[in-house]
Amino acid sequence: MSLSSVLIANRGEIALRVVRACRELGIRSVAVYSDADAQAAHVRMADDAVHVGKSSASKSYLNEDAILEAARASGVDAVHPGYGFLSERPSFAAAVEEAGLTFVGPPSSVIATMGDKASARALARRAGVPVVPGSDEVASVEDALAAAEEVGYPVLVKASAGGGGRGIRPAASADELRTVVAEAQREAASAFGSDKVYLERALQGPKHVEVQVLADTHGGVVHCFERECSLQRRRQKILEEAPAPGLDPSVRASLCAAAVDLAREVGYVGAGTVEFLVEGSGDEGEFFFIEMNTRIQVEHPITEAVTGLDLVAEQLRVAGGAPLSVTQDDVVCRGASIEFRVNAEDPDQDFLPSPGEVTRLELPGGPGVRVDTALMAGDVVPPFYDSLVAKLAVWAPTREQALARGRRALAEYRVEGLPTTIGLHRRLLDHPAVVDGTYDITTLETWLAG
């Protein structure tokens, strides 16, 4: 069986990315759109489009019933969730399955297992994958205090159902822990519908490294090497690169093998990302599993750049029942790639979201430059959704050349009418720790605070 038509339950650049992959594979694409996106690029470029609600996400892109009705009405045989919105909601994947449609992603049971941090940690331990020292779920302050004595301070209180860096509170002492447990539970209940939390030891200055995996329904699982994602603000990624600079070859091999082992253990299908923290340097570096993202990642273009794979096309083929088009020996990492997230935010105003009209737009080009965006001059960035408006990815044979290409491409990039993070990226590429690749998850916030 192969897919003949796919509804794309998303918007913006990722929806457009899936439209393009469908077109190359001869698959009919159906977009969905809210009032705010009636004239959006993904709507114009898809083969068909269905209106699903008002401008707010809760009444359109997060409305499971409206999305499913659009799928039924348009006669598709599959639903691609993109990233964000409903992509990691087990109830949505289950509803797609129950409607007799193919969910382009892992089974709903896998999303549920890996979406719960405590169950994901337990599964990682069964697979022999190292996890950050921590606890099982804690139900009270007293339980948390007892667990912290075993784990060791400083600790992080984390939402079991959390994601995207939300639902996390640090505590360096018992007094701090008493305060933050209740705060973390309230935030977790508000953001994720569950107040369950657990503790992890807070590692000191680690690097955030993730491994891209692909798996099919025939038992095939491969990794596509790793991405370095440590440049973060409030646990939201700003810049990513592949491969991770300075990662010891033996640590890389073990890290990638662990990601494959975890994917096999959970019965994964499709494209997914296994995220780790790496502490220490050289062959003495240690890595620890933290979570798995059961969807395509924002930063997938840099993996595509260094491996030559089309990850979205691979998702669609696998969802249609085909085996992976590559074996592990076929996946080779060549050169270096860097992605810059372009957000409609004002870095000088504490990254205040800045919706509005784009009055002028000049995109960079030339060898090794890729821009994933649905934004055009004259378009309006609406205030209802995530502020990401584009991804600039560059590739070159060496990391030094990729940095130079990134500087050149950023210098060409012009957006007028609203503030963006382009200027921040230009400055960031001159940061000594970025130049030499020694940055960690504390680097960006420390630099911004200084």
Q: Going residue by residue through the chain, which has 450 residues, state the pLDDT in tens, using 9 for 90 and above.
A: 699 999 999 999 999 999 999 999 999 999 999 999 999 999 999 999 999 999 999 999 999 999 999 999 999 999 999 999 999 999 999 999 999 999 999 999 999 999 998 899 899 999 999 998 888 889 899 999 999 999 999 999 998 887 666 778 999 999 999 999 989 888 888 888 888 899 989 998 899 999 999 999 999 999 999 999 999 998 899 999 999 999 999 999 999 999 999 999 999 999 999 999 999 887 778 999 999 999 999 999 999 999 999 999 999 999 999 999 999 999 999 999 999 999 999 999 999 999 999 999 999 999 999 999 999 999 999 999 999 999 999 999 999 999 999 999 999 999 999 999 999 999 999 999 999 999 999 999 999 998
Query: Of 295, 317, 370, 399, which one is the catalytic site residue?
Result: 295
Distance CA 264, CA 262 (A): 5
From the options 3.30.460.10, 3.30.1490.20, 3.30.1370.10, 3.40.1390.20, give the CATH code of 133-201: 3.30.1490.20
Residue ranges per domain, the chain?
5-104, 133-201, 207-449
The tally of CA atoms less than 13 A away on the side-chain side of residue 11 is 29
Domain 5-104 -> CATH class = alpha beta
CA distances for 433 relative to 19, 26, 246, angstroms? 38, 45, 12
235 catalytic per annotation: no
pTM of the model: 0.91
Q: Where are the beta strands (DSSP E) in 35-167?
A: 48-53, 78-80, 102-103, 134-138, 155-159
Region of 164 (left: φ > 0; alpha: ψ -120 to 50; beta: rest) is left
What CATH code is assigned to 207-449?
3.30.470.20
Q: Which residues pair with 372 in a beta bridge?
A: 391
Mapped onto helix, strand or coil, the DSSP state of residue 411 is helix
Mapped onto helix, strand or coil, the DSSP state of residue 249 is helix
Distance CA 93, CA 80 (A): 10
CA distances for 200 relative to 121, 182, 196, 373, angstroms? 11, 16, 14, 37
Q: What letter would DSSP give residue 218? A: T
> Residue 168 is which amino acid?
I
Rg of the chain in Å (alpha carbons): 21
